[in-house]
Amino acid sequence: MEIFDSSNESHKVVDYEAQIIQALKTGGIKSARNTLSNIQDQLGNLQALTYRQKTGLNAFKIALNESWWSTIKHGAVSIRRSAVSDLHFFSNAYENPSFRNLFGESFGWKGELSKALENNQKALAGFSGTIFFSIIFQDSVKGLISLSQIDLHNLKSEFAIGFPNERPQGIAHKACLLFFDYYFWIIGLNKIYTLVYSENRWSSRNSEKLGLLREGFIKDYLRTERGFKSVEIFGLTRSEALENRKLLSTVWRRINRDWSRFH
């Protein structure tokens, strides 16, 4: 069967997506990458594809970037994909009502937590829901980062960071800078944004300190166990990051990365 059926555009997308997802399930990342490569070879001249077809293939190329499973490290701080070994940390975080009230009522998983963390290790960005990353400081899990609403066609995602217990001084700021560096320049996404509960002034202030711009306010955006919650929206694009001299200086000082070379 042809990979692309010219009579049905929606079928075109489902067909190669299904092949890559099936290869991922049965043979892992390497098999999925080989399947993507074979599909591209069968398509021949990529210039003949529609914009939607090109962005669809590019989305899989980004999703299968091995860097999604890499560990980001600078000094005593590292960030990696959350795993079953983090079960105790996540259990405590989920049972912490004050943390849940600020981070979110639901962590996005379904069913048994250990199984959810196992699936998190295999999750394909943009096709598997929220992905969690653990923040390690001095060999101990201290916090978490989540990427949700990952849109690899439009190169954007919602970002959240949280520390259920005591937060080591300066770690949250450094972890965010490390993750933004990874997100923009290694993975290659264009925009990151965060939704902050309006009463969470700490997160609002720190979003602005990180260079994120306040993009709006939505009243009664989420319905929770304690009623409706309003949110502030903060966002940052690659071009905005490169135009922010203060942010460029901070990135160089704190994680020794020169973003100006990406101009």
Q: Which amino acid is at 13?
A: V
Measuring CA to CA, which residue among 193, 191, 218, 188 is closest to residue 207?
A: 193
What is the distance in angstroms between the CA of the first residue and the CA of the last residue of the chain? 44
Element (H, E) at 144: strand 140-151
How far apart are the C-alpha atoms of 50 and 54, rounded to whole Å? 6
56's enclosing H/E stretch is helix 51-63
Sole residue written with tokens 């166990």: 225
Euclidean distance between CA atoms 226 and 199, whole angstroms: 13
- Mean pLDDT on 171-182: 95
Q: How far is CA 194 from the centre of its chain?
A: 11
SS3 of 106, please? Answer: coil
Closest CA relative to residue 32, chosen from 52, 1, 10, 57: 57
* Predicted confidence band of residue 254 (pLDDT cuts 50, 70, 90): very high
pLDDT at 234: 96
The pLDDT-based confidence of 101 (bands split at 50, 70, 90) is: low
pLDDT tens sequence across 82-95: 999 999 999 888 88
Comparing CA positions, the residue from 22, 26, 12 lying closest to residue 57 is: 12
Which has the closest alpha carbon to 59: 30, 20, 9? 20
pTM: 0.86
Please tell me whether residue 44 adopts helix, strand or coil conformation: coil
* CA distance to 194, 203, 212, per residue, from 191 (Å): 10, 18, 10
Phi, psi angle pair for 157, to nearest 5°:
-160, 155
- The DSSP bridge pattern shows strands 156-162 and 191-197 to be parallel
The label of the residue with tokens 């070879």 reads 41
Lookup result for tokens 């320049």: 185
* Burial state string for 15-53 with b = 16 or more CB within 10 A and e = fewer than 16: bbeebbbebbeeeebeebbebbeebeeebeeeeebeeeb
Q: How confident is the model at residue 44 (pLDDT cuts 50, 70, 90)?
A: low
Query: At 132, phi and psi to the nearest 5?
Result: -105, 145
**Averaged over 240-246, what is the pLDDT?**
96
- Give the whole-angstrom CA distance, residue 58 versus residue 198: 36
| 109 confidence band (pLDDT: 50, 70, 90) | low
Is domain 69-262 annotated with CATH 3.40.630.30? yes
- Considering the chain, tell me which residue range(s) the CATH 3.40.630.30 domain(s) occupy: 69-262
